[in-house]
Structure 1
């Protein structure tokens, strides 16, 4: 199975670096659990992926800040009970500046030094972002505010296929540059399926003065219907070949996971050939598929981190 890309690409014949000293770095994103069973599953997932020695692990924020306390509890527990480096998502949605300041101070006091600063999605049932009357209008203001509070490491998001609310691809790049100038030190892309989408975006960003690392966000397909829904919300294009590959497999998890592992591994492999050394995985709190993809590109266990 091959992904579409540059004509004549040599990536399909490029050997992978499978040594224990692979130069690749990975990071993982999780969402906060809503039940006790989900909490156990999340911790099992962390235990499974921790030996891959991720550069950091991030925990998302629910729409409208709905998981604020749960996110804080999970991030604090990771900080206290493991050697993993946690990053906490923080958004502008449904929160005043005073509330965001309180949350940021709580993270700093818990030993969390890394924030993923985002504008955030509208609360469930709403389609447009509306700033809190006493809050921030977007992520640039949030980043500037956080940097004045503490010397956080700030990661931001970016959209290689343009943010759904952006007026143009150029204005989207201009806003990414503003986030960098405000203090962001890393950007992670929304998920995508064509390697050229990422490569072209990074090239355009660099030509517009964006010189922070832009890490590709990789989303292995655990459910095609869910991917279609996610893609519609964030503007990601789902190519016809992908639809054809996964059609009819919603009730065939073994075949679906097999295809998902191949697609994600080949995407990473193509990017690796182009010199990409960092990958961020949206895990959806599932370990095995992400672990398998990491294994296939040469990221192997180094030590047991969680005691």
Structure 2
């Protein structure tokens, strides 16, 4: 079990948090990732999620990393799963393989088209949507329960979903996004995790409207303490939002990650004060910035986390 969250002050509610990492793309990156993961796990997150490439492009590496978390840390692994250009039968196999490895929590995503294709590609248009994937995950879980094949280390499992507070790229309207999110909850989703955003009202306003429309599940705000101006611009592109000009200038002027950490700390405080249940931190496979955020929030002690040597994540596949 992971460590319990630490309260900011006596009598205060504990700040809960989680992390996202992605599979290493080389042997050297795997060594660095193994080191980062140990520090992240030692902080006591609610879970650490692992991304999954379009069409299962990082399937083996993702499963290796999930197994590493399961076997070498106390952190709860959460497996991303995308449907785009993946046949239903193959998706069911991947779910079974993941459950067999002792990982029972998923983030159900449709995902982006693979490189070289677009939304008009027949393989993309035939992909399951997120609601269908949620139902498939539940079907495979039930199937394993009935046959007695379930790994005893796996719990009942939760399924999370993506949330787009500033609109999905293919969205018709904000109301359509909220209705689709409610449909995902009705299909069995336990909680949502947002895509990146830069302003507290982006999250707070969206959640308020979703609650008025009938959504009840928790929504975790996804935040990333960027380290450089170039990284900020990349994140802004992914978020589909312009980067805050003052933050971009501060990063370029300082030459350090401090402005990115300070921005994330301020944003997290506003979100938590506004009712966010926790914060989900996108790590970019580095532990320093996200742990600095947690220290500034009072969740961690200022002393560096000390961890013993661990085997590297298998990046041979």
**Residues 231-276 of structure 1 deviation map (CA, whole Å, 9 limit, x = unaligned):** 3344234233333333456xx3x2xx01111111111112222233
Q: CA deviation digits over 1:112-136, x for unaligned, max 9? A: 0100111112212444375637963
Do residues 264 (structure 1) and 286 (structure 2) align?
no
Partner in structure 2 of residue 140 of structure 1? 131
Mean Cα deviation higher: 142-151 or 186-195: 142-151
Tell me which residue corresponds to 1:298: 298
Q: What CA distance in whole angstroms lies between the structure 2 residues aligned with 1:97 and 1:290?
A: 36
Per-residue CA deviation, residues 73-123 of structure 1 (Å, 9 max, x unaligned), is: 110121122221000110002311111111100111111010011111221
Tell whether 2:230 aligns with 1:225: yes
Distance 1:263 1:131, change over 3 A: farther
Instruction: Please name the residue that 1:207 is paired with.
Output: 212
- List gaps (5 residues or longer) in structure 1: 1-15
TM-score (norm 2): 0.83
| Match of residue 106, structure 2, among 107, 115, 119 | 115
Give the aligned partner of residue 283 of structure 1.
283
CA distance in 2, matches of 1:223, 1:33: 21
Question: 1:245 aligns to what?
Answer: 250
List alignment gaps of at least 5 residues for structure 2: 1-6, 142-155, 311-317
- What secondary structure does 1:132 align onto? helix
Pair 59,191 (structure 1): closer, same or farther in 2 beyond 3 Å: same
2: distance between equivalents of 1:125 and 1:132? Answer: 12
Of 21-30 and 156-165, deviating more is 21-30
Query: Could you list the per-position Cα deviations for residues 136-163 of structure 1 after superposition, in whole angstroms to 9, with x for gaps in the alignment?
Result: 3311111111111115310111110010
1-side partners of 2:185 and 2:307: how far apart? 32
1:29 aligns with 2:20: yes
CA distance in 2, matches of 1:193, 1:180: 25
Structure with higher RCO (Cα < 8 A, 6+ apart): 1
Question: What is the alpha-carbon root mean square deviation over aligned residues?
Answer: 2.5
Distance 2:275 2:214 in 1: 20
Where do 1:1-307 residues align within 5 Å?
17-18=8-9, 23-128=14-119, 130=121, 132=123, 136-150=127-141, 151-247=156-252, 252=255, 254=256, 257-300=257-300
Provide TM-score, normalisation by structure 1.
0.86
Q: 1:242 to 1:201 in 2, by over 3 A?
A: same
Residues 219 and 277, structure 2, Cα contact 8 Å, conserved in 1 = no
Q: Number of aligned pairs?
A: 287
Greater shift after overlay, 221-230 or 189-198?
A: 221-230
Distance in 1 separating the partners of 2:240 and 2:124: 28
3-state SS in 2 of match to 1:55: coil
